[in-house]
Structure 1
């Protein structure tokens, strides 16, 4: 496996973590607040973006970037990736019968979420790879990492 594909997988895994945290948090909160499906989807997607960006932002900050660079890197590297995942993920949850009505206590909820995230992961890896080939997406973070590696 080439370095760029490995990077794409790592980038996607990062994203997946953010998405999963966001969606589960969204589900927990919207269930707790008694919200409907639409509000739940909006909340989950917003949180998925938030956590996804946060993970990249934190990682880039740890490499020694300033605030502005870290924000730009997170936006550049994660937007398309999270978007791809959330679209695929939400579509699957809408397509699977009863998945949207399944609550946290049902096996169907966790099963459909796991399947949705797995498919979303597979869908997002080539997207991330394609972006990197063009020097966009996570290549931004990677480039930054290489430039600053010699400082430490």
Structure 2
């Protein structure tokens, strides 16, 4: 695959870095924004679900569950972004400098919306079992809401070269 978000495997890290600036590659297209938003959602959802599962299973108060879920969402989101770049030959600090701002903004928007929606739908912190359908309904709706909240943000970040494909 050799589109804006997936440079060829044999591309040297420096060339991949230059290729990944969407302002130069595709001008920050909606297609590229959709791809990176889905990637962001994957990391956020893994961390979010893990935090919610731990918090609900342990009977933590809702604000502790939210803090745990958000922390793990950021860790997983950054992990899914940084590890592939480091596998391509970038050092941690090079990869961090490339992605930190765009990821912080994108993950923050996604997490804010996901947690508000999930909380108001009774999915987190309500003491319900992970086996209860409402838990999963709330999580699913929150994930969709988070995606659509972060999509225009990522498009804007791409247009201004503040976010890169990873």
TM-score range, shorter chain: 0.7 to 0.9
Equivalent residue, structure 2, for 1:129: 155
- The reply on whether 1:66 has 2:91 as its aligned counterpart is yes
Number of residue pairs matched?
138
Shift of 1:119: 1.2
CA displacement, residues 32-63 of structure 1 (integer Å, 9 cap, x when unaligned): 33311110000000000000000000121123
Which digits, 9 at most, give the CA deviation of each residue in 1:99-150, with x for residues without a partner?
A: 3313311111111111111011011111001001001022xx46xxxxxxxx
- Please identify, of 40-49 and 5-14, the stretch whose mean Cα deviation from structure 2 is larger: 5-14
Q: Take 1:13 and 1:63, find their aligned partners in 2: how far apart are those partners?
A: 21
Match of 1:41 among 35, 44, 66: 66
Q: 1:29 aligns to what?
A: 54
Deviations 1:3-55 (A, max 9, x none): 72221111111110111111111022223333111100000000000000000
TM-score normalised to structure 2 length:
0.76
Matched, 1:99 2:115: no
Structure 1 consecutive aligned stretches of length 4 or more whose deviation exceeds 4 Å: none
Shift of 1:95: 2.1
Q: Quick check: which one's helix share is greater?
A: 1
Point out where structure 2 has 5 or more consecutive residues left out of the alignment.
1-25
1:60·1:73 contact (CA, 8 Å) conserved in 2? no
Contact 1:30 1:39 in 2 (8 A): yes
Residue 148 of structure 1 corresponds to: none
RMSD, aligned α-carbons: 1.7
- Extract unaligned runs of 5+ from structure 1: 143-152
Aligned counterpart, 1:147: none
TM-score between both structures, scaled by the size of structure 1: 0.83
Higher relative contact order (CA 8 A, sep 6+): 2
Q: How does 1:111-122 map to 2 (within 5 A)?
A: 111-122=137-148
